[in-house]
Structure 1
Amino acid sequence: MKKVLILGASGQIAQQAIPLFLKEKNIGLTLFARHPKKIEHFKAENVEILKGDVMHFEELKKAIDGQNVVYANLAGDIDKQAANIIKAMDETKVKRLIFITSLGIYDEVPGAFGKWNHKMIDQYLKPYIKAAQIIEASDLDYTILRPAWLTDNDEIDYEITQKGEPFKGTEVSRKSVAALIVKMVHSPKLGIRESWGVNKPNTDGDKPSWY
C-alpha cells in the first residue's frame, strides 16, 4: 500500500483530492490539519486523521516518517512551511513531494491576463516565489504545481505548461488539479523535479470568466 500524507488536508484542493484517493484500494491516507473536525467526514479504514501544524517541527516530522508521498496544500507563510517540510523529509528520508504554489511566481503569465494577474496577486507572491526557490534547491523528488485561477466546477479538464514556457489559460477546476495529483501518486516518475502550470484548455482571455 502506498502511503500518502496530505498537509493542509482541509484545504479546498485537498477536499477534492481526498475522495479521488479513497476510490483507490492501494492508497493509505494520512490527513494532517490544524482543524481536523473539518475533515472528520473522511474517516475510513485506510485514513488516519492527525491534528497538527506544519510549523511545529516534531509534529510534522512524526507525520512524514514512513510516508511514500507528501502532498502539501498550504497557505500563509508558505516559504517557512516549505523549509520545515524539506528539513523533516530529509531527516526521515522521504523523497517525493507535491507542492501547490501559484501562477505568476516566475513572471510567466503573458499578455493582458499577465498584467491583470500581476495587479491582483503580486503583493501576495513573495512567499510563494521563495517557497519554490527553496524546494528547487533541495534534493527532493518534487513537483511544484502552479494552478490558474481556481473554480469549483465538477470537471476534470486540464493541460500543463513547463517552467520556462508561457502560462496558458486563465482558470482551472480544483477537481482537475486534484486528479493530476492522484495521477502523479500513481506514476512515481511523473513530473519529478519539474514545475507545472495547470490550466483548463481554451480558457485564454484577459481575466477569468467570472470577473
Structure 2
Amino acid sequence: MRQPKRIGQTDPSRETVINGDVNDYPTLAQAMAGQDLVYANLGGEFEPMVKNIVQAMTAAHVNRLIYVTGLGLYHEVPGEFGRWVEESIGTPVMDDTRRAAKIIEESTVNYTIIRAAYMTNDDEIDYELTEKGSPFKGTTISRQSIADLIVKTIKNPALHQHSSLGIDKPGTDGDRPY
C-alpha cells in the first residue's frame, strides 16, 4: 500500500495529495477533476486500472497521460534477451500489460507510454529512447534516467505526444540485465 506521508513536503498552491486507489473509480474520478496531466506508474493487474484511468480522464476532460511500464509490450526486445524477458515475466502478466497499453493507445487520451528496461539505482542520467516499431536496445536503465524523462515531459507536455518510448542506458545490450 502506498503511504502518502512518504511524499514529503508539498506546495499546496499547486499540489494535492489524495489517499486513494486507482481501482476505486469514484475516488479516481474525483481526483482527476481539474488536473492538467496524469502520471501513472502502477503495479498489479494493469488492464482494469488503465480502464479506470482512461475513463476518469475522459470524463474529467484531462487529456495528457504519462504511463510507465516495462519493456516487451510489442515483442520489440530482440534475441535472447527478448526470449528471457517473455519467459521471466510470464505470459499472463505480459498479456495484461499489452491489453492495458492497447486501451491507452486506442483512447482519445494524449499519451506517452514509457517502456523501461530493468531498473537500477545507479546515480546517473544516461539514456537513449526507441520509438514503437523499433527494436528495443539495452537491458538496464537507472531510475534517475526514467525520472529525468518524466520530468522533462511533465514540464513540456508537447514532448512525445501519442508515443510509446523504450528507455535504456546506451551500451547495455546483452542477453540479460547486469
Does the 8 Å contact 2:128/2:168 carry over to 1? yes
Residue in structure 2 matched with residue 92 of structure 1 by the alignment: 60
Aligned partner of 2:109 among 140, 158, 173: 140
Structure with greater strand share of residues: 1
Residues 34 and 57 (structure 1 numbering): CA distance in 2 closer, same or farther, change over 3 Å?
farther
Residue in structure 2 matched with residue 105 of structure 1 by the alignment: 73
Residue in structure 2 matched with residue 156 of structure 1 by the alignment: 125
Unaligned runs of 5+ in 1: 1-32
Residues 20-169 of structure 1: matches in 2 within 5 Å?
34-39=2-7, 41-45=8-12, 46-123=14-91, 124-169=93-138
Residues 155-194 of structure 1: matches in 2 within 5 Å?
155-194=124-163
1:34 CA drift (Å): 4.4
1:44 CA drift (Å): 4.2
CA distance in 1, matches of 2:2, 2:100: 20
Residue in structure 1 matched with residue 177 of structure 2 by the alignment: 208
Task: Report the AA paired with residue 198 of structure 1.
Answer: I
TM-score, normalization: structure 2? 0.93
1:92-149 CA-partner distances (Å, limit 9, x unpaired)? 1010000112101111000121122122113321211110000001011101110000
Task: Report the AA paired with residue 170 of structure 1.
Answer: T
CA distance in 1, matches of 2:168, 2:18: 31
1:159-189 CA-partner distances (Å, limit 9, x unpaired)? 1001110000000011111110111112222
Task: Report the AA paired with residue 116 of structure 1.
Answer: W
CA distance in 1, matches of 2:122, 2:61: 37
CA distance in 2, matches of 1:200, 1:59: 37
Does the 8 Å contact 2:76/2:134 carry over to 1? yes
Secondary structure class of the residue paired with 1:84: helix
Does the 8 Å contact 1:169/1:204 carry over to 2? yes
CA distance in 2, matches of 1:160, 1:34: 29
Residue in structure 1 matched with residue 165 of structure 2 by the alignment: 196
CA distance in 2, matches of 1:129, 1:90: 21
Task: Report the AA paired with residue 96 of structure 1.
Answer: R
1:90 CA drift (Å): 0.6
Q: Number of aligned pairs?
A: 176
Matched-pair identity in %: 47
TM-score, normalization: structure 1? 0.79
Does the 8 Å contact 1:69/1:97 carry over to 2? yes
CA distance in 2, matches of 1:76, 1:200: 26
